[in-house]
Amino acid sequence: MIRINLLPHREEARKARRQQFYALVGVVLVLAGLIWFLGFSILTGYIKSQEDKNAFLQREIAVLDKDIEEIKKLKEQIDSLLSRKQVIESLQANRTEIVHLFNELARLVPAGIYLKSIKQTGNKVKLIGLTQSNARVSALMYNLDQSPLLERPQLIEIKAVNVDKRRMGEFNLDVFITRQQADAAKPAAAPPAKKQ
């Protein structure tokens, strides 16, 4: 009978399988490395692209912030100019107010009252004067209340004083000027509709 020794053949087959296994592991490692490198490259590209977009947005935001600051400065200048314009308009509207005030006071002050001081602060006018009797101050207050230019007379004080050896009353009262531009600024009322 013939005997065949298969041991070297088996050993060679094992060796071949081992080599195939190592080659397969090497190929898998190479493929894994390649996949990792490709994934890393793609992610790095996305990150770089997003960083570029973020940097662009930051630059544009900085430009817009500068524009917003300029707009704020312009708004402040506009508000300042508008407030100046309103002051000028109010001065323009009321520039003849003092003339009308003196004309009105000359017309309204009854005989027997002498004005010593007239002081205007805003739309409030403080009158200080001398009177021969309290009734004349009452008449003055009534006249001031009836005036279209003046309103709300308020007697602050009246006291007895001696002037050139004559007994008189010294009074102190406030009255308010009716501002003309308030009436001019109100829109005119629409005429009522005719009923049919």
The model's pLDDT over 23-69, given as tens digits with 9 standing for 90+, comes to: 999 999 999 999 999 999 999 999 999 999 999 999 999 999 999 99
Phi, psi dihedrals of residue 6, rounded to the nearest 5°: -95, 0
**Statement: residue 186 has pLDDT above 80:** no
Same domain for 84 and 15? yes
Domain closes at, from 37, 65, 93: 93
**Statement: residue 92 has pLDDT above 60:** yes
Average pLDDT, integer, range 189-196: 46
Average pLDDT, integer, range 126-144: 81
Query: Which DSSP string corresponds to 127-182?
Result: EEEEES-HHHHHHHHHHHHH-SSEEEEEEEEEEEEEETTEEEEEEEEEEEEPPHHH
**Statement: residue 94 has pLDDT above 80:** no
Residue 173: count of CB within 10 angstroms of its CB: 19
Q: What is the dihedral of CA 127, 130, 131, 132, to 10 degrees?
A: 180
Same domain for 104 and 68? no
Domain closes at, from 93, 120, 145: 93
Q: What is the pLDDT of residue 179?
A: 64
Q: What's the mean pLDDT when you consider all of the chain? A: 81
Per-residue pLDDT of 168-180, as tens digits, reads: 888 888 888 776 5
The residue with greater pLDDT, 48 or 137, is: 48
> How far is Cα 85 from Cα 182, in angstroms, rounded to an integer?
16
> How far is Cα 127 from Cα 157, in angstroms, rounded to an integer?
11
**Statement: residue 74 has pLDDT above 80:** yes
Same domain for 39 and 21? yes
> How far is Cα 92 from Cα 35, in angstroms, rounded to an integer?
83
* Residue for token pair 């230019």: 149
Same domain for 143 and 87? no
Q: Answer yes or no: are the C-beta atoms of 126 and 119 closer than 8 Å.
A: yes
Q: Does residue 24 sit in helix, strand or coil?
A: helix
Same domain for 47 and 78? yes
Q: Whole domain around residue 69: which residue ranges? A: 11-93
